[in-house]
Amino acid sequence: MAIEIERKFLVANRDYRQMATGSTRIMQGYLSTELRATIRVRLRGDKACLTVKGANIGSIRDEWEYDIPVADAVDMLDRCATGSVIDKDRFLVPYEGHLWEVDEFHGHYEGLVVAEVELSHEDERIALPPFVGQEVTGNTRYYNSVMASTDHLRVVDGRLV
């Protein structure tokens, strides 16, 4: 088991695109969206994984991740995913000793762009890149699992309402 400690922010501008060292398309769906434990299937390029995440306690949560065959992931997304499948492009942006992941959402959440950074401990101080805006860590509406299971959220001015 690993522990995930991350902070999440809305993105204020598109500077991350010039700073990115790479990007990839991600399709992910949820087999369970319970806040106590979510189960996610993710396709990322020619790789797939199954991830179980425990409930958030602030910015910390338990996480277990397992590689699975791509064909199995496709079947799970088609046959077992609850709600909608999240479609996004992820940009990798190194900045002052941390790797930021910036997700541009497509489909129902077109226009939403969120940046996340993983930390080694909860009180770790980080430098915020110039593209980072309002912090949304702990705001459940920005959890991908909530977005996948909710059809009443929409994007207005880059925020979920």
DSSP result, 46-64: TEEEEEEEE--BTTEEEEE
Is 66 assigned a catalytic role? Answer: no
Phi-psi region of 158 (alpha: psi -120 to 50; beta: other; left: phi over 0): left
Dihedrals φ, ψ of 36, to 5°? -65, -35
Q: Which of 30, 95, 109, 143 is catalytic?
A: 30
Question: Could you tell me the two tokens for 148?
Answer: 């996948």
Query: What is the rounded end-to-end Cα distance, in angstroms, of the chain?
Result: 34
What sign has the CA pseudo-torsion 138, 105, 87, 117?
A: negative
Q: How many other C-beta atoms are found inside a 10 Å radius of the C-beta of residue 27?
A: 18
Burial of 13 (0-12, 13-18, 19+ CB in 10 A): exposed
Active site residues: 30
